[in-house]
Chain A
Amino acid sequence: MTAYLIRRLVTSLIVILGIALVTFLMTHIIAPSPGRAILGDRASRAAVNAFDNAHGYDRPVWVQFGSYLWQLVHGNLGYSYKLNQTVDSLIAENAPHSMWLSGISVFLSIVIAIPLGIFQAVKRNSVADQAITAAAFTAYSMPQNFLGILLIGFLAIQWHLFPAEASQSERIIPYIFAFHSNFLPIATLTITAVAGYSRYMRSAGLDALAQDYIRLARAKGLTEPTVLRRHLLRNAILPMVTLIGLSIPLLLAGNLVVEYLYNSHGLGLLFINELGNEDFPTVIALTLLGGIATVVGNFVADVALTVADPRIRIN
């Protein structure tokens, strides 16, 4: 098992290196001469060259990539000339909000989707199952911004139940406790995720129900709740672990839409704003971060699966 995990870790690092190379090349292609970008169009050629020379931008590409990596390893993601701030500090300001929003939504979706999917599997083809399936399909196929607009339209504008805008607190603690203000963004993210996860959970549950060990468990005289809890649940959840890891990119994309829609502080909103500002260092650093988050998500899912599945753990 350890060997497997080390191997996974190494491949993850290699992929991250690849992502870094891509983002580096993006920077390089968009702005081969940062001097021009920083000093502006009116600066003299000589001034630009001097700037590039002083900052090492005229060195060979591979050397520059090396120093880029060196900076990354030291947690230096670049500098936003547009905002006159290090990208690091931008991320430090915005990341906690995004992480909270995604984290709580993933947590809620899992907590809702697993029992829901198992319920559907056990009661397969019942009216309840079909109703949930219909709802899940609707939610899943609906574009997220449309879902958000619907929720705002009814819950915020029509019935005044929740504000249409997320908490504007820049500090994270008040933001976390602003459940009422953040209800709609969390709901939007959660509904989409539940729709996807519950479909998957239903089919994983059906697969597990059809296995012989379920029949054997019943033949032992165990009660139905015990059979489901002890024998079905764990086996049906295993494939979910991977799915959740794989859905990290979707979640990130969801954050873009939702943060923009509800004007919530966070990396997603930052990304969209800076994209409009042509603040490339920030946009590219966030892209890199998104890539890394995806790789890390998959790695964590693999580790979790390894721990949870004795067939992988004991070999």
Chain B
Amino acid sequence: MEPVLEINDLSTHIQLSRSVVQAVGNISMSIAPGETLGLVGESGCGKSMTGLSIMRLLPNGGKVVGGSIKLSGVELTKLSDADIRDVRGNEVAMIFQDSLTSLNPTMNIGRQIAEQVRKHRHVSRAEALERAAEALSIVGFPNSKERLDNFPHQLSGGQRQRVMIAIALSCDPKLLIADEPTTALDVTIQAQILGLLDDLKQRLGMAVLLVTHDMGVVAGRADRVNVMYAGRIVESAPTTELFTHMHHPYTQALLGSIPLLTQNRSERLFSIPGIPPDLTDPPPGCRFAPRCSRATDQCRTEEPALEPATNDHHFACWHPVDGPIVRTTIAVNGTAPAPAGAGEAEHSDAAPGAPETVAARNGSAAEPAFGARGWQSGEGDDRLLVVDDVVREYPVTSGVILQRKVASVKAVSGVSFTVGRGETFGLVGESGCGKTTLGKVIVGLEKADKGQVALRGTNVTGLRDRQLRRFRKDLQMMFQDPIASLDPRMRVGAILREPMKIQGIGTKRQQDKVIADLLGEVGLPANAVERFPHEFSGGQRQRIGLARALTLNPQVIVADEPVSALDVSIRSQVLNLMKRLQETHGITYIVISHDLAVVKFLADRIGVMYLGKLVEMGTGEDIYLRPVHHYTAGLIATVPEPDPMREKSKSEVGIKGELPSPVTPPSGCRFRTRCPAAQQICAEEEPPFRPFHPGHVAACHFPLQQPIDGGDPLAAQAGTAPTIAGS
């Protein structure tokens, strides 16, 4: 069959004022009708520029400098500007990552779809609107006619993404370029959107170029995968082959650095040292050579070409590997990857003398990593931090003259848990479920409307001024966005000194020493004190954030999405670092993330949150292998795992519908509006917490496992006692 898209030796450069970014370098690929080609790689590797080159929508200064792009045999690079406009939206459509600005906020969605139809289909306004309504119903809008008048701000993120897809398919394109289509969405919505794309592809016979940084997404959705690194395609293979028999060391390392749900968390993550090269001045020879553990002199001088290994498996490497890095995984239906003799895992950030495995922290490496923490009753330190029935609501006001409180956003509604010293407690849930708010309440950045947070038996929420400041020192927060959370006008030295200054700790010389030690510990050069945050990469900035959280030697660090802003290879460096610092400093972490795999890798115990409430709590294994609550089970089913076999065996949409408004949460079980097993009682009575395994509790009327008979939930979880308020 003739390919829909055929790219040959394409190079795209972007002219800056003083330099040229070689964004895409000599890439070739083709997509057959009805095929989904995944294009994966870390940020900045040229994925989006490839898509934009096809559309000729490159940013200012961007230009295709060589090669050819053929769409059904027609050379796109030779078309006039007017002709390429007839292709855009008509034969090739593109959808982008949803952001609030992906649709024009001042135009209703009907017109936004119809304008494309009118441009390409010379139909009347009424006919175009009719087509728009049709497209909306195809992407899953009921009452699509009435929806035409909606403005983007009236829609949720998932709905806006559906509108964007409706625009894309309104003219029956041959090729759909989806650039990070679900990156901004929650996993449950992501699964719905990806399912929709798959379905549409089949129904309309489009070819799809799926651009993403998420290996889990391509594993389940792509027929073939191209891996990009620093502007080059380094490996191209059918999806399963790529995941199980990769030949390029970068593909191997990339997959090896992703924390898996099946991960044995006592094992360090593989991590790739360094950062991707600057594309204004790429290294000669293999572009991965500076970070590759197999690199030889040949690699550094001579660039390997993309050569076929078999008919449909190509790679560019002088010293190929064969298959994935060996990792020990917990047994799940026998899908653990087979050992493949490529275990030269290099721990870039291992400080000399640092213990190599996390298990060592537990006193003995032989001790199982799971459930072995001392949070059960009986140990002295098992109640370092007690969160007791914390409620936080934000008022919603309205009124003509005087602002009256008319309702409230129930951000956190009665959450209780206990964390022991040196333990890591993970909080996982969709955006808007109240994780961040809860984290802020714990460190005292937000006040609790009800309930308390106690550190070493002292209620921190009741403290004021001096005393509070003393406790603040022991409760530090680390934020998601390392750029926004570091003052751009302060040098790193000043940033690290600030907390000590506020607390009045140490002389200047002592402070200098603490700063120097910390920088060494987080793997930053000593001269970093002289530099500003913007002079660092994202991963380095997150290290600065970690160092700042550590300056006061706190007992508890609340890390809110600590690695979400980072690329996979950098992410594993920071995750390893966080674990290592925990060992050396004996810190207690509360890790907040929407990413279940990250939480599972870091946390001894996990609390699953839904709409302001904890619904289930247990060890990573409890949550992953024996989920009890329907929300937990649905969440696990929707998390894309970088394992094609598991992904393809997953049933379609995991959790239906969208998150209800936190202003008027559903009565009874808050999950009931989306739960497949909901019954009458779920609407009437709030399910109590029941134990299902020692330390494993969940709140569900019709649980997926048998509760421990007659077990008293309060006793079974050793005083963690989530006393749920009756309201």
**Chain A interface (Cβ < 8 Å from any Cβ of B):** 3, 6-7, 10, 124, 211-213, 215-223, 230-231, 234-235, 238, 308-311, 314
Contact = CB atoms under 8 A, between A and B. Distances in A.
Contacts of B119: 220-222
B63 interface: no
A212 B153 contact: no
Given A3-B400, A216-B167, A221-B120, A235 B106 contact: yes
A257 B151 CA distance: 45
Contacts of B99: 212
Given A220-B119, A221-B90, A310 B101 contact: no
Interface string B122-161: 0000000000000000000000000000010110000000
A219 B401 contact: no
B102 A231 contact: no
Contacts of A212: 96-97, 99, 101-102
Nearest to A238: B106
Nearest to B91: A221
Given A221-B90, A221-B119, A213 B55 contact: no
B115 A219 contact: no
B105 A311 contact: yes
Contacts of A309: 105-106
A310 B120 contact: no
A231 B106 CA distance: 8
A216 B106 contact: no
Given A211-B101, A219-B93, A222-B116, 4 more contacts: A7-B401, A10-B401, A212-B102, A314-B151
Contacts of A3: 398-400
B564 interface: no
Contact of A222 (B85, B103, B164, B399): B85
A221 B89 contact: yes
The dominant DSSP class at the A interface is: helix
B347 interface: no
Nearest to A313: B151
A219 B89 CA distance: 6
Interface string B98-112: 010111111110000
B153 A220 contact: no
A222 B115 contact: yes
Given A6-B400, A212-B101, A311-B151, A219 B106 contact: no
Kindly list the 10 A-B residue pairs having the minimum CB-CB distance in the complex, ordered from nearest.
A221-B88, A221-B89, A220-B89, A220-B116, A211-B101, A213-B104, A212-B102, A310-B151, A221-B85, A219-B94
Contacts of A6: 400-401
Q: Chain A CB within 10 Å — which of B55, B94, B105, B120 has the most? A: B105
Contacts of A7: 399-401
Nearest to B111: A230
Interface string B258-288: 0000000000000000000000000000000
Nearest to B167: A220
A311 B167 contact: no
A310 B105 contact: yes
B684 to A, nearest CB: 33
B87 A221 contact: yes
B120 to A, nearest CB: 6
Contacts of B103: 213, 216
A298 to B, nearest CB: 18
Contacts of A211: 101
Interface residues of B, number: 35
Contacts of A218: 57, 88
Contacts of A220: 88-89, 115-116, 119, 167
A219 B55 contact: yes
A219 B104 contact: no
Given A3-B398, A212-B96, A216-B103, A221 B154 contact: no
A222 B85 CA distance: 7
The dominant DSSP class at the B interface is: loop
Interface string B62-99: 00000000000000000000000111111001101101
A216 B96 CA distance: 8
A307 to B, nearest CB: 12
Contacts of A238: 106
A235 B104 contact: yes
Contacts of B89: 219-222
B289 to A, nearest CB: 35
Contacts of B57: 215, 218-219
Contacts of B97: 212
14 contacts: A6-B400, A6-B401, A7-B400, A10-B401, A212-B96, A212-B101, A212-B102, A213-B105, A216-B164, A219-B89, A220-B167, A221-B120, A235-B106, A311-B151
A186 to B, nearest CB: 32
A312 B104 CA distance: 14
A215 B120 CA distance: 18
B154 A314 contact: yes
A310 B90 CA distance: 29
B569 to A, nearest CB: 27
Interface string B568-581: 00000000000000
Nearest to B102: A212
A221 B60 CA distance: 18
Q: Chain A CB within 10 Å — which of B94, B96, B104, B108 has the most? A: B104
Contact of B96 (A215, A222, A308, A310): A215
A144 to B, nearest CB: 34
A211 B104 CA distance: 9
B163 to A, nearest CB: 10
Nearest to B97: A212
Interface in B477-529: none
Interface in B162-216: 164, 167
Contacts of A314: 151, 153-154
Q: Chain B CB within 10 Å — which of A216, A217, A223 has the most? A: A216
Contacts of A231: 104, 107
A222 B96 CA distance: 17
Contacts of A219: 55, 57, 88-89, 93-94
Interface in B388-434: 398-401
A233 to B, nearest CB: 10
Nearest to A233: B106
A105 B719 CA distance: 74
B119 to A, nearest CB: 5
Given A6-B400, A212-B96, A212-B99, A217 B104 contact: yes
Given A7-B400, A213-B103, A219-B88, A230 B93 contact: no
A238 B101 CA distance: 15
A314 B154 CA distance: 8
A16 to B, nearest CB: 15
A221 B107 contact: no
Contacts of A10: 400-401
A24 to B, nearest CB: 24
A124 B60 CA distance: 10
B246 to A, nearest CB: 33
B111 to A, nearest CB: 9
B106 A310 contact: yes
A274 B206 CA distance: 78
A195 to B, nearest CB: 26
Contacts of A223: 85
B105 A235 contact: yes
B153 A311 contact: yes
A242 to B, nearest CB: 15
B685 to A, nearest CB: 35
Q: Chain A CB within 10 Å — which of B93, B97, B106 has the most? A: B106
A221 B103 CA distance: 15
A212 B105 CA distance: 11
Contacts of B93: 219
Nearest to B105: A311
B107 A230 contact: yes
A46 to B, nearest CB: 49
A238 B55 CA distance: 30
Nearest to A223: B85
A306 to B, nearest CB: 13
A6 B119 CA distance: 42
